Chains A and B, each alone.
Chain A
Amino acid sequence: METVVTLTLNGEMVSARADQTLLDVIREQKIDLPTLCHMQGLSERGGCRLCVVEVQGAPRPMAACVTPVTEGMVVRTHTPELEHQRRLVVELLLAERNHVCAVCVVNGHCDLQWAAAKLGVASVRYEYLHPDLTMDASHARFVLDHNRCILCTRCVRVCDEVEGAHTWDIAGRGIKTRVITDLSRPWGDSPSCTSCGKCVQVCPTGALFEKGATVAEMTKERDFVGWIIRGRTKREWTW
């Protein structure tokens, strides 16, 4: 039998299954909480810190996507301090690489851009780093643009956990961190990549896109991860 816990969410009592994360419960309650590295169906990374919430008694804000629910928890999701922190995160992401939305393939369909708009990020208070980054267009169908990558690792996880190819990895540390394919050889030369395109679809930004797409043309299909996971775990596919 499933254990049920009760917690207080923004002043309301709610119950949840003990194996749920705070983010699951928050979403069930239809509370709008921004996320970037989280993707339904993939393992959690807890890296972007956009989903931070205040848990009473905790010394610092917690990432809801990696925090399990516990009995008696008191949680707040939208304090001015939290909103301030989320804005900070988005501003830092924008300043770290080269985000020029007006000429970006996903302009208008970008999770980072939506998060910025929703949080009211009208300007960036940090100096842009303007790093000199390359693109990898060696793959026949897809392109990787490091300029727009926010290192969320959604590509890494979907490739490993859903497609089972594990083409993607993370190399380097700190500001030098990059996503790589097959021990850093050009994507087009990757023997493990099956060209399924799952990474491209789950990438929240314009970092991964279909070759030939022009500005604002690239839209992404995200629901498929859920279908695949459900189909597999519930054995819905019977052929």
Chain B
Amino acid sequence: MAQTIVIDPVTRIEGHSRITIFLDEHGEVRDAQFHVTQLRGFEKMCEGRPFSEMPALMARICGICPVSHLVASAKACDALMAVQIPTAGANLRRIVNLGQLVQSHALAFFHLAAPDFLMGMDADPAQRNIVGMLAARPELARDGVRLRQFGQQIIEWIGGKRIHPPNIVPGGMSQPLTAETRDRILDELPAALTIAERTLAWFREQTARFAEEVRHFGSFPTMFLGLVGPDGEIEHYDGRLRIISSEGAVIGDQLHPRDYQDYIGEAVEPYSYLKFPYYKPLGYPVGAYRVGPLARLNLAARCGTPKADRARAIFRQKEGVLRSSFYYHEARLIEILYGLEKIQQLLEDPATSDEHVRAFAGPNSQEGVGVSEAPRGTLIHHYKIDDDGLMVWANLIIATGHNNLAMNQSVQQVAKHFVKSQALTEGMLNRVEAVIRAYDPCLSCSTHAVGQMRLAIDLRGPDGELLDSVKRE
């Protein structure tokens, strides 16, 4: 008799999701599907509104990474206005975007993922959280809080507000950088860098204990997609897209974000509201790729900042191209390091303090695409407007969406390895959840919904009958 297991809701991820595990006649895992069961259509909601409202409106898609949506949306608006934004404006957007990277990665690592490494995957869920961590390793928990706060402060000081910063506007920024803000951030930077280096060193000591997870956590060949600079260096704000094979060969390079529809297709599956983007030339579902910190570190030639480049070299020594999604965690820590160093470089550049931060124009082009790297990966906003500048159409591809195919494959892989019985054990559930969490999926974003972190797992037999079911609220 074949069976099905469903996990719902996955705890400690943003949004709402459900996993179904299908068993075959021999009680072996046949298939596993990761469903996203929420839908909220921002694409529809924006129709008829002026494009100039989009950055602020789109930022509301998500309370966790609103800055990423602001940046991608503002860039799409720049394209609609057909303007080149002033360097200082671009640099300030970059800094806010990196502040977002730091705070989001710190949240993902310290609050959501670190408890697993500290207490072990099989520890009691009541202990395996930030509170338990605060008791066991208070200095680690404190580091996490401080790093996140620093990122948030950068967003607030330069962006104007902590959650939905209003200073990022079509055409650039609405406020130039003050010397006071610049010095305040530069003063606090060294302490944040120390925390980032300390945490990376600690995490590297831990990983030895998780050899099995490394092998089975979404360790499979996929392509990787992300932005790179003109010389192939890591890039989060501008640049062109690069796609590499699972072996590291560059398949597409310097692809213009404007033409994304030429190389990215979007498939739909009946069991999930989340679309399944794929690399068009290879077709669906073979064209699966991953995005996010791991992808960026796999495909970029360098970071371009000393500490991050050293960390990246050690990271990449492990294997040429890192395939296990377990490595997302370390990649996040390296990106924190990079983010802090880059913020410092940008702030020290006198061009960033220029008063001229905004270009003004009306709608000059009827179509605009804005692409940036959100903490979780490539984010695409694509708008069309009428002659008056009112929105007629929008398409959004969110980081978590790009990873959808890979997440499904990862869940399958973990389920096949760890699910051995007709009942659901705590340790197995934790691992299935943990593999999803490795991607740090933001499901509220990806379905453009606002929701709680919840997940359910169902175990189903070959005829679809429910054998076991666990729900986490």
Q: In the complex, which residues of chain A have a beta carbon less than 8 angstroms from the beta carbon of B48? A: 134-135
**What CA separation (Å) do A213 and B166 show in the bound complex?**
12
Chain B, residues 164-181, CB within 8 Å of chain A (1/0): the string is 101001100010000000
Given contacts A102-B164, A135-B48, contact A215 B53 (CB under 8 A): yes
User: How many whole Å from A26's CB to the nearest CB in chain B?
Assistant: 36
**What CA separation (Å) do A212 and B50 show in the bound complex?**
8
**What CA separation (Å) do A103 and B53 show in the bound complex?**
7
| CB-based contact B49/A212 at 8 Å | no
Q: In the complex, which residues of chain B have a beta carbon less than 8 angstroms from the beta carbon of A215? A: 53, 55-57, 166
A105 is an interface residue with CB less than 8 A from chain B? yes
B349 is an interface residue with CB less than 8 A from chain A? no
B window 268-282: CB within 8 A of A: none
Among A134, A212, A213, A217, chain B packs the most CB atoms within 10 A around the CB of A212
A window 184-228: CB within 8 A of B: 188, 211-217
A window 131-164: CB within 8 A of B: 134-135, 137-138, 140, 143
Q: In the complex, which residues of chain B have a beta carbon less than 8 angstroms from the beta carbon of A212? A: 50, 52, 170, 360, 362, 389
| CB-based contact B49/A135 at 8 Å | yes
| Other-chain residue from B164, B166, B174, B389 in contact with A137 (beta carbon distance below 8 A) | B389
Given contacts A135-B390, A137-B390, contact A211 B53 (CB under 8 A): no
| Other-chain residue from A137, A138, A211, A214 in contact with B56 (beta carbon distance below 8 A) | A214
Q: In the complex, which residues of chain B have a beta carbon less than 8 angstroms from the beta carbon of A214? A: 52-53, 55-56, 166, 169-170, 174
Q: In the complex, which residues of chain B have a beta carbon less than 8 angstroms from the beta carbon of A103? A: 53, 56-57, 60
Q: In the complex, which residues of chain B have a beta carbon less than 8 angstroms from the beta carbon of A213? A: 52
Among B52, B55, B170, B389, chain A packs the most CB atoms within 10 A around the CB of B52
**What CA separation (Å) do A211 and B170 show in the bound complex?**
12
**Secondary structure call for the A interface:** loop
**What CA separation (Å) do A217 and B360 show in the bound complex?**
14
Q: Which residue of B lies closest to A210 (CB)?
A: B52
B139 is an interface residue with CB less than 8 A from chain A? no
Q: Which residue of B lies closest to A216 (CB)?
A: B166
B388 is an interface residue with CB less than 8 A from chain A? yes
User: How many whole Å from A69's CB to the nearest CB in chain B?
Assistant: 45
| CB-based contact B388/A137 at 8 Å | yes
Chain B, residues 371-393, CB within 8 Å of chain A (1/0): the string is 00000000000000000111000
Q: Which residue of A lies closest to B160 (CB)?
A: A216
**Secondary structure call for the B interface:** loop
**What CA separation (Å) do A188 and B362 show in the bound complex?**
15
Among A102, A140, A215, chain B packs the most CB atoms within 10 A around the CB of A215
Among A103, A105, A134, A216, chain B packs the most CB atoms within 10 A around the CB of A103
Q: Which residue of B lies closest to A187 (CB)?
A: B388
Q: Which residue of A lies closest to B57 (CB)?
A: A103
| CB-based contact B169/A217 at 8 Å | yes
Chain B, residues 67-99, CB within 8 Å of chain A (1/0): the string is 000000000000000000000000000000000
**What CA separation (Å) do A137 and B390 show in the bound complex?**
7
User: How many whole Å from A223's CB to the nearest CB in chain B?
Assistant: 24
Q: In the complex, which residues of chain B have a beta carbon less than 8 angstroms from the beta carbon of A217? A: 166, 169, 174
Q: In the complex, which residues of chain A have a beta carbon less than 8 angstroms from the beta carbon of B50? A: 135, 137, 143, 211-212
Q: In the complex, which residues of chain B have a beta carbon less than 8 angstroms from the beta carbon of A188? A: 388
| CB-based contact B164/A105 at 8 Å | no
Q: In the complex, which residues of chain B have a beta carbon less than 8 angstroms from the beta carbon of A216? A: 56, 166
Q: Which residue of A lies closest to B58 (CB)?
A: A103
Given contacts A105-B53, A134-B48, A217-B174, contact A211 B60 (CB under 8 A): no
Q: In the complex, which residues of chain B have a beta carbon less than 8 angstroms from the beta carbon of A105? A: 53
User: How many whole Å from B23's CB to the nearest CB in chain A?
Assistant: 46
Q: In the complex, which residues of chain A have a beta carbon less than 8 angstroms from the beta carbon of B389? A: 137, 211-212
User: How many whole Å from B62's CB to the nearest CB in chain A?
Assistant: 14
**What CA separation (Å) do A10 and B450 show in the bound complex?**
49
User: How many whole Å from B173's CB to the nearest CB in chain A?
Assistant: 11
**What CA separation (Å) do A137 and B60 show in the bound complex?**
23
B window 108-140: CB within 8 A of A: none
Q: In the complex, which residues of chain B have a beta carbon less than 8 angstroms from the beta carbon of A102? A: 56, 60, 164
User: How many whole Å from A194's CB to the nearest CB in chain B?
Assistant: 20
**What CA separation (Å) do A115 and B55 show in the bound complex?**
27
User: How many whole Å from B73's CB to the nearest CB in chain A?
Assistant: 10
Q: Which residue of A lies closest to B77 (CB)?
A: A214
**What CA separation (Å) do A114 and B166 show in the bound complex?**
20
**What CA separation (Å) do A138 and B362 show in the bound complex?**
12
Q: In the complex, which residues of chain A have a beta carbon less than 8 angstroms from the beta carbon of B388? A: 137-138, 188
Chain B, residues 96-108, CB within 8 Å of chain A (1/0): the string is 0000000000000
**What CA separation (Å) do A134 and B47 show in the bound complex?**
10
A window 69-109: CB within 8 A of B: 102-103, 105
Chain B, residues 348-374, CB within 8 Å of chain A (1/0): the string is 000000000000101000000000000
Q: In the complex, which residues of chain A have a beta carbon less than 8 angstroms from the beta carbon of B170? A: 212, 214
**What CA separation (Å) do A238 and B174 show in the bound complex?**
40
**What CA separation (Å) do A86 and B174 show in the bound complex?**
36
B window 379-427: CB within 8 A of A: 388-390
**What CA separation (Å) do A213 and B60 show in the bound complex?**
18
User: How many whole Å from B359's CB to the nearest CB in chain A?
Assistant: 11
Chain A, residues 111-143, CB within 8 Å of chain B (1/0): the string is 000000000000000000000001101101001
**What CA separation (Å) do A138 and B164 show in the bound complex?**
29
Q: In the complex, which residues of chain A have a beta carbon less than 8 angstroms from the beta carbon of B164? A: 102
User: How many whole Å from A160's CB to the nearest CB in chain B?
Assistant: 26
Q: In the complex, which residues of chain A have a beta carbon less than 8 angstroms from the beta carbon of B166? A: 214-217
**What CA separation (Å) do A211 and B49 show in the bound complex?**
12
A window 40-83: CB within 8 A of B: none
Q: Which residue of B lies closest to A188 (CB)?
A: B388
Q: Which residue of A lies closest to B49 (CB)?
A: A135
User: How many whole Å from A110's CB to the nearest CB in chain B?
Assistant: 15
- Give the 7 A-B CB pairs with smallest separation, nearest first: A215-B56, A137-B388, A214-B169, A103-B57, A214-B52, A212-B52, A103-B56
Given contacts A102-B164, A211-B50, 9 further A-B contacts (CB under 8 A): A105-B53, A134-B48, A135-B49, A135-B50, A137-B389, A212-B389, A214-B174, A215-B166, A216-B166
Query: Could you jot down 11 A-B contacts, CB within 8 Å?
Result: A103-B57, A105-B53, A135-B48, A137-B388, A138-B388, A140-B362, A212-B52, A213-B52, A214-B53, A214-B174, A217-B169
